[in-house]
Structures are given as structure tokens and as C-alpha cells.
Structure 1
Amino acid sequence: MKKPSQSNWFSGLLALLFALLLFFNANSSGNISNMSGTNQVYDEMLYNIPVQVEYDQAKYFVSGYEETVNVHLSSANRIQLNLESNEDTRNFQVVADLTKTPLGTSEIQLRVKGLSTAVTAEIEPKTITVTVEKKVTKSFDVEAQLPESIEAEGYKVEKISVSPKTVEITTGEETAKAISRVIAPLSNVKQSVDTIKQTVNVQAIDSKGQVLSIENPAPQVKVVVDLTLPSKEVGLTISPTGSPPSGVEHFTFNLSEQKVEIRGTKSVLDAIDTIELPVDVTNIKSSTKQKIKIPTNSEYIVSPEEVEVTINPVFAGSDTSYSETTGQSTTTSYSSQVLPPPLPSSERPISSSSTTSSSSSTSTESTTEDNLENGSSSVPAS
């Protein structure tokens, strides 16, 4: 049998071992947690970062390279990464050093300049291809280049003026030798315009029509082009609007112009044969003259812009109308007519029936022929 003192000593030693085991286990878990937190890496992908090309700009002209690249940033410091990712707080630049690059075409390694040491960067692509030439400046005449739509839509070019007529082009020595002409390319114009006025950047073109590299920004010129729009004549048709007064059977309309000229692009003109002229006949009980503006839109120009219309009401049961005899006219009548009630058979005239019928038929044919000759028709009142 063990003594009590030995038993207490053994129990105390065992408790101490358990305590040490728990202590080291807790510290080990904390260290692992701290290590995993410290090793957290954040990253950002930045697109279209401009490339800064370093060279003697007074002596050389550089062309042919991609002006932007993508940059992948990574860091364990989230705050620092955010600063470099934000365009407003960014410190780094992507640089191509050409200070020791010979004339001709070369492949240049890109590098990041000014980046925080807490952030790493990877550039995509890592290199660019550049062409280095001696810088020259020469004078060239400028010619306007009209958009293809001008000819396609039937415009006739009357006059072209370019100001200034001559510009100075700065480019590389070899590029300058390849310049065939310098143009001022005009953009497409709105329909129904007879003058183009645009200020544009010039372009240098080689013999194959390829655009060559010149100093940016390129010289600007002002181009004015006077055009004659395609035109054609179209007829006018009356479209009565409003509510006619009671008792009016129909109206006749006399127009000061039967046709008008419209000007616009060929595609617009091809789609128009007549123009509807709205005429308000509300409360018109006597011959009335109105000046009506001819409907138009931004696609075409109409001439004249307005016509005079004489509105003549014809009352039911009456053959009298207030039609004008001067100028060109068109008459439009509503088809519903009020006819007198038929006479009883005992009261109908016998001997003259054939003559009356023949006379009525002749009168009707004569009236129809007169209306056709005058370009006239009639519009019913209701």
C-alpha cells in the first residue's frame, strides 16, 4: 500500500503534465491561425493601362505600338492594393524605355515604375513592338473626302472649300516618304441638308489607301461643301378635317398650286408621290380662303412652304357652289347627295321624259369632263 504523500506527489505531477499539454496545444492553434491570416493574398486585374514611352521626342518619332496593356496586381496589404488599383490614387506607371533603342523596329520589354513594395505587378503583354524614326515635319495640301452616302443618295456637289488648304505634318522620316496624300474625311451628314460644315482632323494616306501614323493630335481643317439636293414634283391631295356645318352637302377646294417641289435624298424622294394637305372645314358656310402650311419633316424640304386654298361649301338641294375660276383648282366632293323625293306617277311629265333624261345625261357628262380638265374633285361633307 502506497503512502499518502507519494500519491499526492504523483497526482500533482500528472496535473502539471496535462496543464503543459493544454498550454502548448492552445499556442500552436493560435500560431496556425495567425499564419493563415498573414498569408491572405488579394489581387486585382486592371485593364487599358496606358504605356508611357520614354525617348527623345525632339529628335525621334515612335509609332506602331500598343498604347495600353493590362496589369495584374497582388498584395497581402488590402489597403495598399486598393490605392494602386484606384486611378485617382495610383502611383505606378507602365514604362517602355527607348532611350537606347536604335532606329527601326524593335521589341521592347515593359516594366512597372513607382509601384509600392507591398504590391507586385504582372504586365500582359510583357513586351511591345515599336518603330523608331527620325522626326521630320513637311507641308502637304489637304483634300476633302466626302462620305459615300453623298453619291449614293444623289447629291450633286457644287463647291468644296478647305481651310487651311495646306497643313504641316509631323511624322517619321520614312513614313513621310510614303505619304501619297493628306485628306480631311467628312462624317455622314443628316438628310435634307444643302451645306456641310465640319471641322475634322486630317489623315495621311499612302498609295494603297492605308492610314499612316502622324503626330497626335493631328492638324485640323474646316471643310464647307455646297450641295444640290435631288428634287422632284409631287401632287397635293386635300384631306378635310373638322366638322362641317349642317346643311352642307360637300365642299370644293381651289388650290393656288396643284404641285410642289420637294428636295431630299434619293431614298426619301422615291417614297413620296403625293403630300396630304389637311384643311379644316369646321363652321365654313361661305367661300373662305386659307393659307395652309404644307406638312414636312426633317427628311425633305418643300417649296413653296404654303399654298392658298379656297374652300367652297355646296348646300344640300342646291347646285350653287362658290368655286373660283382663277388659278389652278382641285375640287373634292363627299359622295352622299340629298335627292328630292320622287313624284307620283300621275304627275310625271310624259312627252318630255326622254328629252329630260337625255339632257340630264348630257349635262352630267359635260360636268364630269369639265372637272377632269380642271383637275377637280369633290369631298362629301359628312
Structure 2
Amino acid sequence: MKKPSQSNWFSGLLALLFALLLFFNANAQGNMANIVTTAQVYDEMLYNIPVQVEYDHDKYFVSGYEETVNVHLSSANRIQLNLESNEDTRNFQVVADLTKTQLGTSEIKLRVKGLSTAVTAEIEPKTITATIEKKVTKSFDVQAQLPESVEAEGYKVEKIDISPKTVEITTGEETAKAIDRVIAPLSNVKQSVDTIKQTVNVQALDSKGQVLSIENPAPQVKVVVNLSLPTKEVGLTISPTGSPPAGVAHYTFNLSQQKAEIKGPKSVLDAIDTIELPVDVSTIRTSTKQTIKIPTNTAYIVSPEEVEVTINPIFAGTNTGFSEKSGQSTTTSFSSQVLPSVPSSEKPESSSSTPNSSSVPSSDSSAENEKENGSSSVPAN
């Protein structure tokens, strides 16, 4: 039979073993949970990240390289990844180190500088091609380069002013030798303008017209171009609007002038032969004079801007109109019917006359008078 002390010692040892087993089992599960947690990796793709080129800016000029690249970031720390992804809180830069690069064109490996150790980065592309030259500054005269539309639309250049006329161009030594001319390229302007005023950055071109690399920002010049617009003479016609008063058959219109001059691009002028003048006749029962503004738009300029029109109503049945001043009737015949001749023996001895009335002219005479006065007859309906 075992002694009580031995039994207690065995039970204690057994309890200790179970306690250790439970302890290690719990720690193992916790470690596994940590492993699972840290295995989560977050990704972020950043586009158009600027490339910082490191070189001696006082001695050299670098050109021909891609100024932006894409960067793929990844991290298990979501907060840190967000900080580097946000442009306002970003610490890293993409750098191209040319401090030890020889003159000429070389392929430069890119690297990331200032990135948190909790974040990894991959650059796309990993390299850039750059040309490094000795830096020089030379003076060049500036020429204005007009938009193609100026010549195509028939504009004539009266005068060009450029200020300043000469600029200093900073670029590479070999690039400076290739400069054939320096231009101020003007952008297209809206139609019907007779003056172009623009402030633009100059460009350096080689003999083939290709743009060369110069220091950024490039010098600016102010350009003023005075243009002479194409002109054309067009006819003016009346377009009655509104419903005429009761009894009015039609109207005659007498314009102070029959034509107007328009100025604008050739493509616009070619499409216009006449301009219609809207005249509201809904309340006109007597001879009336109106000043009509000639319709226009931003595509062309018209001269004169307005004309005077005399509106004469012709009443149905009687072909009678009212004078502007006294309202007395005047009779105008527009009929082409020829009346038969009456023998002298059948002629009445006397004829009655109505006060304030006028004799009836022939249709040919009436038409001829309208033509001489520049008037036209338009039916009321």
C-alpha cells in the first residue's frame, strides 16, 4: 500500500503536466491567430508620380526623359499604406540620380527614397532614358506663328507686334546648336474678330519644325495681331411677322437701302446671300416708318447695324391705303387688266369726282414707281 505522501506528490505532478499542456495549447492558438492576422497584405496603385532628377542644375541641362511613372505600393499596415498613398501625407519620392552620369544619353535606374519600412514599392517602368548636356543660354528673335484658320478663312494680316521681340533661351549645348527659330504659337480665336491679343510661351524649333527641349517654364511674350476681315455685300429682304389687321390685303415696304456689308470668316460669308429683316405688321393700318435692327450673330459683323423701312398697308377689295399724316385714302391699282376703249359719242358729258381722291394709275405705272422707290409688295397673309 502506497504512502499518502507519495500519492499526493504524484497527483500534484500530474496536475502540473495538465496545466503546462493547457498553457502551451492556448499560446499556440494565439500565435496562429497572429500569423493569420499579419498575413493580410494591402495594395495600392499610384499613377503619374513625378520623377525627381538629381544633377547639378547650374552646370547641366537634362532632357528627353519620362517625367512621371507609376508606383505599386503594398503593406500589411493599412494606416501606413494610406499615408503613403495620399499625395498630401506622402513621404516617398521617385528619384533618378544623374550626378555621376556622363554627358550624352543614358539609361538611368529609378529608386524610391523616403518610403516607410512598413511599405514596399515597385516602380513601372524601373528605368528612364535621359540626355545630359552642358547648360547654355542664348538670345533669339521671336516670330509669331498664326493659327491655320487665319489664312484658311481669308483674313489679311495688317500688323504684328511682339513684346519682347528677343528672348533668352536656356537649354543644352547641342540642343542650342539645333535651334532654327523661336516662335510664339497663337491659339485659334473665335470668329469675326479683327484683333488677336495673346500671351504665350515661346517654343524652339529645329530646321524640320520639330519642338526642341528648353528650360521650363519657357519665356513668355505678348503678341498683338491686327487683321482685316473678308467682306461681302448682301441683299436685305423683309419678312413680315404677326397677323395683319382685318381688311388689310398686303403691304408694300420701302427700305432706306437695299444692301448691307458683312465681315467675317470666308466660310461664313459664303453661306450668306441675303439677310431677312423681321417686321411686325400685326397693328399697322396706316403708312408707318420703323427703324429695324439688322439681325446678326457672333459669326459675322454687319454694317450698317440698322435701316429704316416704310410700311404701307393695302386694303382688300379697294386696293386703298391710308396716308401717314392725314389718313386720307390713296388708291393704287395693281391689276393688269386692260380696259376697253369707249367711243367719243358714248363718253359721258361729265364725271363726278370725290374730294381728296386721286386718279387710278395703270398697273405698269404703279409697278414702275415701286421699283424706282425701292419698295416691295408682300401679301398680308
Q: TM-score, normalised by structure 2?
A: 0.83
Q: Secondary structure at the match of 1:355?
A: coil
Query: What residue in structure 1 maps to residue 129 of structure 2?
Result: 129
Query: What residue in structure 2 maps to residue 310 of structure 1?
Result: 310
Distance 1:103 1:17 in 2: 75
Q: Secondary structure at the match of 1:34?
A: helix
Decide which of 339, 349, 355 is 2:341's aligned counterpart.
355
Letter of the structure 1 residue corresponding to residue 223 of structure 2: V
1:159-187 deviations in whole A, cap 9, x for unaligned? 11111110111111111110000000000
1:106 is displaced (CA, Å) by 1.2
The answer on whether the counterparts of 1:253 and 1:323 sit within 8 Å (CA) in structure 2 is no
1:312 is displaced (CA, Å) by 1.4
Could you say if the C-alpha distance between residues 260 and 323 of structure 1 is closer, same or farther in structure 2, counting changes exceeding 3 Å? farther
Query: What residue in structure 2 maps to residue 187 of structure 1?
Result: 187
1:237 is displaced (CA, Å) by 1.3
The answer on whether the counterparts of 1:46 and 1:70 sit within 8 Å (CA) in structure 2 is yes
Work out the number of aligned pairs and report it: 343
Letter of the structure 1 residue corresponding to residue 216 of structure 2: N
1:355 is displaced (CA, Å) by 2.9
Gaps of 5+ in 1: 1-12, 325-334, 338-351, 357-361
The answer on whether the counterparts of 2:241 and 2:281 sit within 8 Å (CA) in structure 1 is yes
Q: What does 1:242-261 correspond to in 2, within 5 Å? A: 242-261=242-261
The answer on whether the counterparts of 1:252 and 1:321 sit within 8 Å (CA) in structure 2 is no
Q: What does 1:144-183 correspond to in 2, within 5 Å? A: 144-183=144-183
Q: Secondary structure at the match of 1:377?
A: strand
1:169-225 deviations in whole A, cap 9, x for unaligned? 111111111000000000011101111111100000000111000010000111111
The answer on whether the counterparts of 2:181 and 2:204 sit within 8 Å (CA) in structure 1 is yes
- Structure 1 residue 291 corresponds to structure 2 residue 291: yes
Query: What residue in structure 1 maps to residue 345 of structure 2?
Result: none
1:368 is displaced (CA, Å) by 3.8
Query: What residue in structure 2 maps to residue 61 of structure 1?
Result: 61
1:88 is displaced (CA, Å) by 0.3
Letter of the structure 2 residue corresponding to residue 234 of structure 1: V
Q: TM-score, normalised by structure 1?
A: 0.82
1:80-134 deviations in whole A, cap 9, x for unaligned? 0000000000000111111111111111111111111111111111111111111
1:255-311 deviations in whole A, cap 9, x for unaligned? 111010111111111111111101122322222111111111111100000001111
Query: What residue in structure 1 maps to residue 349 of structure 2?
Result: none
Could you say if the C-alpha distance between residues 379 and 14 of structure 1 is closer, same or farther in structure 2, counting changes exceeding 3 Å? farther
Q: What does 1:1-382 correspond to in 2, within 5 Å? A: 28-321=28-321, 354-355=340-341, 363-372=362-371, 375-382=374-381
Percentage identity across paired residues of the two chains: 83
RMSD over aligned Cα atoms: 2.8
Deviates more, 1:144-153 or 1:21-30: 21-30
Distance 2:57 2:339 in 1: 108
1:74 is displaced (CA, Å) by 0.8
The answer on whether the counterparts of 1:142 and 1:165 sit within 8 Å (CA) in structure 2 is yes
Gaps of 5+ in 2: 1-12, 325-333, 343-360
